[in-house]
A and B are shown apart, each in its own frame.
Chain A
Amino acid sequence: ETGVTQTPRHLVMGMTNKKSLKCEQHLGHNAMYWYKQSAKKPLELMFVYNFKEQTENNSVPSRFSPECPNSSHLFLHLHTLQPEDSALYLCASSQDVRGYALGKIQSPLHFGNGTRLTVT
C-alpha cells in the first residue's frame, strides 16, 4: 500500500458509543495530523504529532482523544460525541521541515480519503 489510508470510510455512532478512527501512512513521514471538515466551514486543524509527540491541540473537546503509537500510525478515539461532531475527519502526514526555511523547502501534507462520521 502507498499513501495515507484511513479506516473506516464511514461511521455511524450513537452519542454513548466509543469508537476509534485509524490512520496509517506509508510515506516515511514524521508528522501526522487530524483535521475536521464540517459543511460550509474551512478545514479545522485538531491535532498535530511531530516525531510521535503531540505539538498542537487546537482547543479540541476532550471527547476526542488522539493517539500516535509510532510515526506511521495515528488514531482518534471518540466517546460521548454530540450530533454537531458529525463531519468528515481527515488524516494527513508530512515531512517535518523543522530547521528549514519553508519558503525554500516543499512540505505538502498528504491526506487520506477521510472518515465520514455521523453521530445520531
Chain B
Amino acid sequence: AQKITQTQPGMFVQEKEAVTLDCTYDTSDQSYGLFWYKQPSSGEMIFLIYQGSYDEQNATEGRYSLNFQKARKSANLVISASQLGDSAMYFCAMRESGNTPLVFGKGTRLSVIA
C-alpha cells in the first residue's frame, strides 16, 4: 500500500494567490514526521516544512504552512501569495518511528501564472 498519496499531478495558480497541495499518508505508528520538499527544474530537493505527529499546532515557515489533520491523516501544504519562483515539483514525505528512511509521494507539479 502507498504510504504517501498526492492526488494532484499538476496544479495551476495565479500569482499572488494562495494554493493548497494535498497529501494523505498511511501509518499505524504514533510517532512520525511529515515533510514537504520543493524540486525546481535544477533538480535539487529543497526542504520546506516539517510537522511532527505530536505537534498540536500547524507548522508554518514564512509563506508555507501545513494544514495537519491527524484524524484524517492529511498534511496539506498551503502556499500563500504565490510567486513565479514557486513553480516546481512539490513532494510530500514521511518518516515513521525507528529512524526509518524518508518515503516520498509521487509529487505535484505547481505552475504559477503571471
Residues of A near any B CB (own CB < 8 A): 33, 40-43, 45, 48, 50, 56, 88, 90, 92, 96-98, 101-114, 116
Contacts and interface: CB of A to CB of B under 8 A. Distances in A.
Given A101-B31, A103-B32, A107-B95, A42 B45 contact: no
A90 B53 CA distance: 27
Interface of B: 4, 30-33, 35, 37, 42-47, 50, 52-55, 91, 95-97, 99, 101-107
Contacts, number: 78
Contacts of A116: 43
Contact of B95 (A50, A102, A113): A102
A109 B31 contact: no
10 contacts: A42-B104, A45-B101, A45-B102, A92-B102, A102-B52, A103-B33, A104-B54, A107-B95, A108-B35, A111-B45
B96 A43 contact: no
A102 B35 CA distance: 12
Contacts of A48: 101
A108 B47 contact: yes
Contacts of A108: 35, 47, 50
Contact of A104 (B35, B46, B52, B107): B52
